[in-house]
Each structure stands twice: as C-alpha cells, then as structure tokens.
Amino acid sequence: MYLAFKLVHIAGVVLFLGNITVGVFWKRYADATGNSGVMAHAMDGIIKADKIFTIPGIVILLIGGIGAAIVGRYPILSTGWLLWGVIAFILSGIAFGPLSRTQRRLSLAAHTGNMADYETLSTSWNLWGFIALAMPVVAFVLMILKPALPAFGH
C-alpha cells in the first residue's frame, strides 16, 4: 500500500511541478514576441493549465503524500525532511494566491493591449512565480535526499 501511495504522490508531483515549470517557459516565450495577442493567449493557456494540471496535481500529491506518510509510519511533524518539505509546499501555496490574481490581471492587460500595466504586473508575476516554483523544488529535493533536519519532538 505504501508504494501505491508513493506512486500517486509522485504522479501528483509530476503534474504540479511540470505544469508550473512549463508555465514559466510559455510566459517568457510569449513575452519575447512583444505581441500582446500572443501574450494574452499564452497567459490564458497558463491559467487554464493551472485548473487542469496544477490544482489537480496538488490534490493528487497531497493524497499520495499523506497516505504514504501514514502507511509508512512517517510522523510528519517529527520527521525533519518531511516537515520542512511540507512547509516549503505550504509557502508555495501561499505564493499561488497573489500569482493567480496577477495572472488574471496580466491576461486582461494583454487582451486590452495595455503593455505598461503588463510590464509592471510581470515584475510581480516573476516574484510570486519564483516563490511558487522554488519552494516545491526545495520540497522535491528534501523528499528525495531526506536530510537530517530539525523537527518537533527532536
């Protein structure tokens, strides 16, 4: 049962991390064209992909990860690599709120051809996007390497 949960967890990680990484690529690729129509289309695709891949990926990785931790008898709060991986994942989720709002505003700016607003919003998107991508990468590394880290009860 542990391996089944682990498989589900890894599938969720692939959906989640893969989609947010590709989203960064497509936004930068579209922005390089300087064409507001292409930029609007790419941003709309990123928003739609979040609904199709990122959000379900989160649910799948949580079900698999929590299931694996329970079945594998890994206490989440007292296993350092697991605790800090979860904290990094939570920080990514916190960044997703402002990132998501910025994405909708970027789409509107691109659709209306307001490139001054688009550029300003892109700065915010880059910041929140970096956090939303970097933190799950940290969690990924912690889950693979399982370093000895401080936790509650240790």
- What pLDDT does residue 144 have? 97
Domain contains 62: yes
- What pLDDT does residue 135 have? 98
- What pLDDT does residue 30 have? 98
Q: What's the rounded Cα separation, in Å, for the pair 99 and 1?
A: 36
Task: Note if the pTM is more than 0.85.
Answer: yes
pLDDT digit string (tens) for 19-77? 999 999 999 999 999 999 999 999 999 999 999 999 999 999 999 999 999 999 999 99
Domain contains 141: yes
pLDDT digit string (tens) for 80-139? 999 999 999 999 999 999 999 999 999 999 999 999 999 999 999 999 999 999 999 999
CB 28 within 8 A of CB 106: no
Domain contains 153: no
- What pLDDT does residue 154 have? 62
- Range(s) of the domain holding residue 131: 2-145
How far from each other are the two terminal CA atoms of the chain, in whole angstroms? 28
- What pLDDT does residue 153 have? 81
Written as one string, the DSSP assignment of 134-150 is HHHHHHHHHHHH-----
- C-alpha distance from residue 100 to each of 54, 146, 154 (Å): 11, 31, 37
Domain contains 151: no
Please name which of 5, 14, 17 lies closest in space to residue 135, comparing C-alpha atoms: 17
CB 67 within 8 A of CB 8: yes
Domain contains 152: no
- What pLDDT does residue 37 have? 98
114-128 as b/e, with b when 16 or more CB fall inside 10 Å? eeeebeebbeebeeb
Domain contains 150: no
Q: What's the rounded Cα separation, in Å, for the pair 46 and 129?
A: 12
CB 94 within 8 A of CB 130: no
Domain contains 90: yes
- Please count the structural domains in the chain: 1
Domain contains 7: yes
pLDDT digit string (tens) for 139-154? 999 999 999 999 998 6
